[in-house]
């Protein structure tokens, strides 16, 4: 072989090895990048950082203990549980109805804490005392959550329910409303026009007088206001001063509420029945002797009331608080800080607050907390039972700003009990409310010592 041919062969071999080396490095680099980035298929080059939901999902089967304050009905499961199972089949939700602080205390004592919970904003102080809830803002910051999707007043109701520090204990999934339900058959029986949107409490009281009658030995009651507590809510009344931690129920505002409640129940024949089964929702649905009823979101119960010809209108309001009803019960989903499955908990929260799930929530007649106009418009449209009901009247009012309740679990039952005594007794309202202050203060001091 000539010298020229040997040089040519050597150069050719070197080129071949270099190409092989570069090709190998290229393949290796691609594998490393794919392994580090876990980049999903179909992502375009240069598309920027992906949100947390686009990251690789750990599909290891896991069971999350889920404490739920809402009724665990088939409708609830269809709205909230099935979508989670569909998107994340590796997550099993172990549901339990936990509807009281006593039930949480039992879970704490047994060490059997849930991973996440659904509760309402009014329970946040009690859950905070028990270290069940946590400020989730830092987590929502790391796993980008667009809080602008939600109506701000509902976020505020969660953030300020326990403190004024703006801690966000979770995200809202549905909100309760207040409305006036009425039995059309009773109004038809007595030839009285139906209730309408835009009534003041005085208007409703006058209407109640017209349908509070006895017919065929049946006492028909014109208006059951539900509870004195609910009547106080549109005024944003609290029981205990936040700074002094002393009762403030002897105020002029509470006096106004007590006197108004007594005035309504003093309509001859409209007083609460001695038979509790004839009062409230039970009296409206089963006994069917109540013409009008103040209540919160009760569509699920009314849907099952065969033969009851009912409808609904805007909640009656105080003249000086037009188009305002009481506390909005904001049901929210949050993480329990002791959970070892926070990533999966966040996945559940993501599904429950998604547009898809919230659209079905709205269609079912539950108020969604989202700003989404299409979701709002769909309110009640998915249920044939609600098709001909005046559900548009419900949303003509807005909820009062949620008060910060101290020792609510003590003050509220005492207030209800005292009002019941006021209806039956001869004591004047000032005496009754002064005694209520004393009873609340005493009970709070006992609770402080117990802790």
Most confident among 297-306, 397-406, 431-440 (mean pLDDT): 431-440
Is 432's pLDDT higher than 70?
Answer: yes
What residues contact residue 319 under an 8 Å CB cut-off, 6+ apart? 200, 201, 202
pLDDT at 17: 42
Domain ranges within the chain, ordered by starting residue: 62-176+329-371, 178-327+402-450
Give pLDDT tens digits for 18-29. 434 333 433 333
Q: Give the residue, 411 or 328, on which the prediction is more confident.
A: 411
Mean pLDDT calculated for residue range 181-190: 98
pLDDT at 422: 95
| 62-176+329-371 and 178-327+402-450 in the same fold | yes
Angle at 109 between CA 105 and CA 110, to 5 degrees: 120
Give pLDDT tens digits for 33-91. 333 333 333 333 333 334 444 556 788 999 999 999 999 999 999 999 999 999 999 99
Q: What's the pLDDT band for 143 if we cut at 50, 70, 90?
A: confident
Structure tokens at 124: 């946040």
**Domain 62-176+329-371 class in CATH:** alpha beta
Q: What is the average pLDDT value for the chain, to the nearest integer?
A: 87
Contacts by 61-64, CB closer than 8 A, 24 or more apart: 61/90, 61/92, 62/90, 62/91, 62/92, 62/341, 62/344, 63/91, 63/92, 63/93, 63/94, 64/91, 64/92, 64/93, 64/94, 64/114, 64/115, 64/116, 64/339, 64/341, 64/344, 64/345, 64/348
Q: Evaluate the CA torsion angle 242, 244, 245, 249 in order and state its sign.
A: negative
Is 220's pLDDT higher than 50?
Answer: yes
Give pLDDT tens digits for 245-292. 999 999 999 999 999 999 999 999 999 998 988 999 999 999 999 999
Tell me which H or E stretch contains 313. Answer: strand 310-314
Q: How far apart are alpha carbons 359 and 382 in whole angstroms?
A: 10
Q: What's the pLDDT band for 10 if we cut at 50, 70, 90?
A: very low
Give pLDDT tens digits for 341-362. 999 999 999 999 999 999 999 9
pLDDT at 303: 85
Three-state DSSP state, 199: coil
Q: What's the pLDDT band for 406 if we cut at 50, 70, 90?
A: confident
Per DSSP bridges, beta strands 91-97 and 62-68 are parallel
DSSP, res 394 = G
Angle at 92 between CA 89 and CA 96, to 5 degrees: 150
Q: What's the pLDDT band for 141 if we cut at 50, 70, 90?
A: confident
Q: DSSP string of 68-130?
A: E-S---HHHIIIIIHHHHHH-TTEEEEEEE--SHHHHHHHHHHT---SEEEEEGGGHHHHHHT
Of 1-10, 146-155, 239-248, 361-370, where does mean pLDDT reach its minimum?
1-10
DSSP, res 148 = G
Q: What's the pLDDT band for 163 if we cut at 50, 70, 90?
A: low
Mean pLDDT calculated for residue range 303-321: 94
Burial environment of residue 314 by CB neighbours within 10 A (0 to 12, 13 to 18, 19 or more): buried
Question: To which CATH superfamily is domain 178-327+402-450 assigned?
Answer: Periplasmic binding protein-like II (3.40.190.10)
Contacts by 2-5, CB closer than 8 A, 24 or more apart: none
pLDDT at 451: 67
pLDDT at 261: 97
What residues contact residue 352 under an 8 Å CB cut-off, 6+ apart? 80, 83, 84, 171, 173, 333
């Amino acid at each position: 072989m000539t010298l020229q041919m040997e040089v040519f062969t050597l150069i050719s071999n070197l080129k071949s090895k270099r190409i092989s080396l570069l090709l190998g490095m290229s393949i290796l680099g691609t594998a490393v990048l794919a392994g580090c980035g876990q980049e999903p298929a179909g992502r375009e080059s240069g598309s920027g950082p992906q949100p947390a939901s686009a990251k690789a999902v750990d599909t290891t089967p896991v069971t999350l203990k889920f404490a739920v304050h809402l009724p665990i009905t088939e409708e609830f499961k269809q709205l909230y549980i099935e979508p989670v199972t569909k998107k994340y089949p590796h997550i099993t939700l172990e549901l339990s109805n936990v509807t009281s602080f006593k039930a949480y205390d039992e879970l704490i004592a047994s060490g059997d804490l849930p991973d996440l919970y659904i509760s309402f904003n009014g329970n946040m102080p009690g859950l905070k005392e028990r270290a069940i809830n946590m400020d989730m803002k830092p987590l929502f910051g790391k796993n980008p959550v667009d809080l602008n999707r939600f109506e701000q007043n509902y976020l505020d109701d969660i953030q300020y329910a326990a403190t004024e520090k703006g801690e966000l204990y979770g995200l809202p999934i549905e909100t309760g409303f207040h409305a006036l339900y009425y039995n059309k058959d009773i109004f038809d029986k007595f030839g009285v026009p139906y209730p309408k949107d835009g009534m003041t409490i005085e208007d409703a009281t006058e209407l109640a007088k017209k349908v509070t009658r006895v017919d065929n030995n049946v006492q028909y009651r014109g208006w059951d206001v539900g509870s004195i507590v609910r009547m106080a809510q549109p005024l944003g009344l609290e029981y205990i001063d936040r700074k002094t931690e002393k009762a403030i129920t002897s105020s002029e505002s509470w006096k106004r509420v007590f006197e108004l409640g007594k005035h309504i129940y003093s309509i001859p024949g409209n007083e609460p029945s001695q038979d509790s089964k004839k009062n409230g929702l039970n009296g409206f649905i089963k006994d069917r002797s109540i013409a009008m009823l103040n209540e919160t979101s009760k569509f699920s119960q009314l849907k099952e009331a065969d033969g009851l010809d009912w409808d609904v209108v805007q909640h009656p309001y105080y003249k000086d608080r037009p188009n305002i009803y009481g506390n909005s019960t904001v049901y929210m989903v949050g993480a329990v800080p002791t959970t070892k499955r926070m990533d999966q908990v966040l996945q559940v929260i993501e599904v429950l607050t998604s547009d898809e799930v919230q659209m079905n929530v709205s269609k079912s007649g539950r108020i969604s907390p989202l700003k989404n106009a299409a979701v709002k418009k769909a309110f009640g449209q998915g249920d044939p039972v609600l098709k001909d009901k005046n559900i548009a009247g419900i949303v003509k009012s807005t909820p009062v700003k949620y008060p910060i309740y101290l020792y609510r679990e003590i003050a509220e039952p005492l207030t209800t009990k005292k009002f019941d005594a006021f209806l039956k007794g001869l004591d004047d309202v000032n005496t009754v409310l002064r005694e209520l202050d004393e009873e609340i203060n005493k009970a709070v001091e006992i609770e402080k010592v117990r802790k």
